[in-house]
Amino acid sequence: MDAERKIDKTISDKAVARIYGMGRGKVFTPKDFLDLASHESVRQILSRLAKKREIRRLMRGVYDYPEFSKMLAAPASPDPDAIAHAIARAHGWTIVPAGETALNMLGLSTQVPAHWQYFSDGPTKQYAWDGGSLLLKHRTNKETTGLSPKTALVVQALKTLGQAHVDDTVVAALSKVMDSRERGRALKEARYATSWVYEIIKRLAAEEAPPHA
């Protein structure tokens, strides 16, 4: 029995070291630790750590190592995007921010989404935690297949805005959040996107890098 406790403590110590090594704000699931032990063993370890408040349980099977808000003198709200990617990682799904979520992440909207939304190659499913929720919406979309995360994000943001609402201000804003390498990659990757979206990306690729402040 002592030998079993020793093994369990060793696994627990390794899990804690990995969590601390990730840094605060990171979100994870038991599957991120399956190289250390079985799913059930990892689940029990994370459950114990959550009860000791070393980590935070956000929803069933999803935890984070929370940031601390000095202003609130309490753990800060979790990162919805990190939650979405942890869930997708656990299931082997590919996700792309969509709608208002995409606009917010690129700085094209200052409104924080009340409901974070992503397109996914997995099933449509909604998730909720204390203070937020997200929707992973199944969508097979050739415009996101094989694209780098930044290119896919830009494509979805432009489609959310719609052609009539993409003006010089939008192009200028996007040019500030994409470096020359990202713009060049987008030009190569997005050639099969909707024609007007590709024309905007061509404009972005032709833009000079914005001067440093």
Q: For the chain, what are the domain ranges?
A: 2-75, 80-213
Does the pLDDT at position 16 exceed 70?
Answer: yes
Kindly indicate the confidence band of residue 3, based on its pLDDT and cuts at 50, 70 and 90: low
Show Cβ contacts of residue 110 under 8 Å, excluding neighbours closer than 6 positions: 104
Residue 17 has a pLDDT of 95
Does the pLDDT at position 7 exceed 90?
Answer: no
pLDDT tens column, 90-128: 999 999 999 999 999 999 998 888 899 999 989 999 999
Residue 177 has a pLDDT of 95
**Token couple for 69:** 């808000």
- 2-75 topology per CATH: Arc Repressor Mutant, subunit A (1.10.10)
Does the pLDDT at position 210 exceed 70?
Answer: no
